[in-house]
Structure 1
Amino acid sequence: MTERQPFDLDAYLDGIETRPCFICRCAARDPAFFHHLVYEDADTIIFLSKYPTLQGYCLVCPREHREDLSHDLTKAEYIRLQEMVYVLSRVLKNLFDAERVYVLSLGSRQANSHLHFHVAPLPKGVPLAQQQYHALMAENGVLHIDDEDMAALAQRIRTAFLAELASQNE
C-alpha cells in the first residue's frame, strides 16, 4: 500500500462547517469542488475521494441533495443507490484484489449533510491493527495521488464499472 501523508484534520473541520455542500457543488461541476468522476446518471454520482486512505476509495451519492437515509429517500431510491454501491464494490474488489470492501455512510447535519456512502477496497496483506476504522481514518494519514494518476484511476474504475453495470442489467 502507498505510504500515507499527514492530514490536517483541524483545517478540514474548519472548512466543512462553512462551505457549501461539496457533493451538490461537485455534481454542478463547480471547479472549486472538483472531484474525479467515476460515474453519474440522473440519480447518482460516484467520484474518487479527495482524501483517500485506500487506493480506489470512492463516494456514492444521490445526485439530489438528500440528508436522511430513512426519511429523504423512497424505498426504490434507496435500493437503486445500494445497487450502485453493490456494483462499485464488485468492481473495486476485482480491480484491487481486495481482501474486503468497506462500505459506510458518514456525515451529519452540521457538515457534509448530503447523504453519501464511502466505498473503499482494503488490500490483501494489511495487518489487522491497520484494518477497519484505522484504514479509513484520515487522522492516520491520506494517500497523496497526483492529479494525473487520479484521472487515470477514475477512468480505470469507470471502465470496469460500466462493464459490470451492463452485465448486471442483462
Structure 2
Amino acid sequence: MSADLFCEIVSGERPAHIVHSDDVAVSFLDTRPVFKGHVLVAPRAHVETLTDLADVGPFFERVQAMARAVEDGLEADGTFVAMNNRVSQSVAHLHVHVVPRNRKDGLRGFFWPRTKYESADEAASYAEAIAVALRRTR
C-alpha cells in the first residue's frame, strides 16, 4: 500500500469520520466539505485514478449507495457526484465526492467553496445520519 492520506484512513492509522467501510471501499466525511455531509468514497486498494481501478462495478455500487444515503440521511434534494483524475486531485488516491445538494444552495459550476464542521461531534452526527440511511437501503 502506498503511503498517502487515504491509505492511512483505510488502514485505520489516521482518524476519520467513517460513514461506511467494507472490503471494497471506505467512505468518510471530507474534512473541508463543500456542504456538511460531503462524503469521500475511496477504494480500499490503493489506486491513483479511475483508469487504474481493475474492478469498477463493485466500487461504483458503493458510490451509488452512498449517493442515495446522503440524500436520505440528510433529507437533501439531490447530490453532486464528482471525481478528479490527476488534475485537481488533492490526494493521489482515487476518490469520489458525494456532496449533498439542495435547491438554491449557492453552488454554481465547478467553484467549490468549502465550509467547516463546528466540532467533531457535529461531524460525527452527519456521518451517523448518512450511515443509518445506508443501512436502511441495504
Relative to the length of structure 1, the TM-score reads: 0.71
Given that 1:106 and 1:118 are in contact with CA atoms closer than 8 Å, whether structure 2 keeps it comes out as no
Which of structure 1's runs of 4+ aligned residues deviate more than 4 A? none
Q: Which residue of 2 aligns with 1:10?
A: none
Deviations 1:74-126 (A, max 9, x none): 2xx21111111111111112233323311111252885111000110112332
C-alpha separation in 2, matches of 1:152 and 1:97: 14
Q: Which residue of 1 aligns with 2:29?
A: 48
Taking only the aligned residue pairs, the percentage that are identical comes to: 24
C-alpha separation in 1, matches of 2:84 and 2:34: 15
Unaligned runs of 5+ in 1: 1-19
Q: Which residue of 2 aligns with 1:157?
A: 130
Deviations 1:24-76 (A, max 9, x none): 0011112xx32100000111100000111202100001001011312x222xx
Amino acid at match of 2:82: L
Larger radius of gyration: 1
Given that 1:69 and 1:115 are in contact with CA atoms closer than 8 Å, whether structure 2 keeps it comes out as yes
C-alpha separation in 2, matches of 1:38 and 1:66: 21
Unaligned runs of 5+ in 2: none
Q: For residue 156 of structure 1, report the CA deviation from its aligned partner.
A: 1.5
Relative to the length of structure 2, the TM-score reads: 0.86
C-alpha separation in 1, matches of 2:23 and 2:7: 13
More helix by share: 1
In the alignment of these two chains, the number of paired residues is 135
C-alpha separation in 2, matches of 1:97 and 1:132: 22
| Partner SS state of residue 50, structure 2 | coil
Question: Cα RMSD (Å) of the superposition?
Answer: 2.0
Match of 1:73 among 39, 53, 59: 53
C-alpha separation in 2, matches of 1:111 and 1:55: 19
| Partner SS state of residue 101, structure 1 | strand
Amino acid at match of 1:148: D
Q: Which residue of 1 aligns with 2:73?
A: 95
